[in-house]
Chains A and B, each alone.
Chain A
Amino acid sequence: MAETAASLQHTPLHALHLRLGAKMAEFAGYDMPIQYPTGILQEHLHTRAAAGLFDVSHMGQATLVGLDAAAKLERLVPGDLAALAEGRIRYTQFLDANGGILDDLMVTRVSGAAGGVETLFLVVNAGCKTQDFALLAQALPDLKLTILADRALIALQGPAAAEALAKVLPGLTTQPFMSMRDATWRGQTLHVSRSGYTGEDGYEISVPDGLAEAFAEALLALPEVKPVGLGARDSLRLEGGLCLYGHDIDRTTTPVEAGLIWSISRRRRQEGGFPGDERVRLQIAHGPSRKRVGIKPEGKAPAREGTDIHTVGGELIGKITSGGYGPSVGGPVAMGYVEADHAAPDTPVTLMVRGKPLPARVVALPFVPARFYRGS
């Protein structure tokens, strides 16, 4: 149910969004910018050509501190956190006892090493944060969980992101992909991660609430940086083949079915020791019965979430979980789950859109090649 605007939470950039003329809508209990006056299409294309600034302050940020914090957090996720070097970031998932995905998250080792006190920095999805933090508090009571409700999160994404950030916050252009550095701006500490959700190079920057608007405005003052709303964030991540929690992944999907086994190291596959490890390891050994794949409609009509996927012969083999128009592709793009026998790239399939059969093909993800920073 839609909540009334008055009951919605605001991020520290809410007033800035209104000044920029954003069209606002509810997302995960927050009043968020869906698009600015330039529109989703231009915002998307600008991010791929220069740099887009995104407010993702609705996401949950927290630190987890204590003796052997990484090894303890490994009880809840299949990611290899013990092997994570200081300042490095890992993508992983909270799993339930069946290996179903409760949420996906980023974990950074801020400081410390095994056998001592470790500090981890976590970023989780807005819609799952209450449940995630409750799970952490309940399952890992000897670690100190601090929810950073007083920090905004600003993403700067695109091929011009590094040169743009350097004009406001110098010294970070050669920061490695999937690493975090602390930087000082106006006397306060920003946590700068080289990561993102668009398939482009860029940063996600944790900023104290009181500095967030000034920091965003300093970046937006640069000609190469434009504000980008959640609409283009969705089309960018879809072209990038990246999962959206609650759509492409949820409790009914495992990391193996979702094509996320790259995020589970050899040691974790061998040792297990995470929720649902038995099922996940079985699926890795024998292959899952269904797989997440890219789906490219051959015509111009987009196929939206919930669209049935059939073989050319008419047998139902799966469903679209995210679908729409890809501005950089210049046509419809989608992803979904199909039975494993039909998951090979180039397999022809039929999508049922408004009762009409539309030809499509299974394709490898992503639709747009990733351009993460890999060193100069």
Chain B
Amino acid sequence: MADVRYTKDHEYVRLEGDVAVVGITDYAQSQLGDVVFVDLPAVGKKVAKGGEAAVVESVKAASEVYAPVSGEIVAVNDALSDAPATVNEDAAGAGWFVKIRMADKGELGALMDQAAYDAYVAGLG
């Protein structure tokens, strides 16, 4: 099973070597509702942990997606441009946003594992 970590803002990080695949969780997409646009950064951009990595827009509002780890954007999910609803249909898989080459894998230690995130979401009622 892939190693997946979570933030309190409902971003996930799926590890592929030293590259972090970042998206929003299924809980987050269910709260947002129908996704109609995703504003992705340029490949090569440096992002700091907690900084804006992307913007996801539902019919109702725009929400920021924060970088769970620091590093360089090495890929963005261009398929979301024509099919933003992929975020609703498969948030944890095909609906990923960006891939970040991590500057400091130690930052992962501050993120929640699956059990901790499940408990966190359950606590939100």
Contact = CB atoms under 8 A, between A and B. Distances in A.
Contact of B62 (A35, A41, A234, A304): A304
A39 B62 contact: no
A325 B57 contact: yes
Contact of A35 (B33, B57, B61): B33
Contacts of B33: 23, 35, 39-41, 231
A231 B33 CA distance: 10
A12 interface: no
Interface residues of B, number: 13
B34 A40 contact: yes
Contacts of B39: 301, 354
B59 A325 contact: yes
Contact of A40 (B59, B62, B81): B59
B47 interface: no
A327 interface: yes
A234 B33 CA distance: 15
Interface in A322-343: 324-325, 327, 332
Nearest to A302: B57
B36 interface: yes
A93 interface: no
B34 A302 contact: no
A302 B36 contact: yes
B60 A40 contact: yes
B37 interface: yes
Nearest to A34: B60
A21 to B, nearest CB: 12
B4 interface: no
17 contacts: A34-B60, A40-B34, A41-B33, A41-B36, A41-B59, A44-B59, A231-B33, A232-B59, A234-B60, A300-B37, A302-B36, A302-B37, A302-B62, A304-B62, A324-B60, A325-B36, A325-B57
A231 B34 CA distance: 11
